[in-house]
Copies of this chain bind each other. A is one copy, B any other.
């Protein structure tokens, strides 16, 4: 029996998952957590076979929560389940230790198959996610830590000078980062840079 923890804050979604999971006699939904702290409380008290983890949670996000869970239990088999198909989310989730990434528009069959795959110790990515990861895997989309930091400050409306003051570096350095960001994300200027950054999930709404 595969024992599941569902981490999800939409009641209707929880009902649906419960229903779908109950149709398989290999799977049982043991617990449901509707936010990060409840999730951690469950994870600290019990070892689940698979954790179904949503990305958007009230007051926190699944990306950080994933790291937290892995810190407590490095063996945890986390399957991300999200509406969001942003590349950054997918990559960060996998970097943070998730064993799979599943979009919510998948059928019940795919959902069940994903859970079984992850439980068996393998990685599961749904088709659309695979496609997204293939896309521009050539044109270097990998942003450095500092670049992401600068990017978010730009999105908040700070100028090169203001960012420089905040990070204790030269405005010229910030300008270099900005130019590199524009090139890396294939933007035309700062405006489209922000649009792309948000589409990819680097900057959250």
Contacts and interface: CB of A to CB of B under 8 A. Distances in A.
As for how many copies of this chain the complex holds, the number is 2
Size category, A interface? 35 or more
A144 B205 CA distance: 22
A13 B104 contact: yes
Contact of A108 (B15, B192, B203): B15
19 contacts: A10-B83, A10-B105, A11-B16, A11-B105, A11-B106, A11-B107, A11-B108, A12-B16, A12-B111, A13-B13, A13-B16, A14-B16, A15-B16, A15-B17, A16-B19, A86-B205, A157-B195, A191-B193, A194-B198
Contact of A157 (B12, B154, B157, B187): B187
Which 10 interchain pairs have the tightest Cβ spacing?
A157-B192, A16-B16, A157-B188, A15-B16, A12-B16, A194-B194, A199-B205, A10-B104, A155-B195, A15-B19
A20 interface: yes
B13 A191 contact: no
A195 B192 contact: no
Contacts of A11: 16, 20, 105-108, 111
A157 B195 CA distance: 9
A154 B105 contact: no
Given A16-B16, A157-B189, A187-B157, A105 B58 contact: yes
Contact of A15 (B9, B20, B190, B193): B20
Contact of A159 (B14, B189, B195, B203): B189
Nearest to A86: B205
A188 to B, nearest CB: 3
A20 B10 CA distance: 12
Interface string A1-36: 000000001111111110110000000000000000
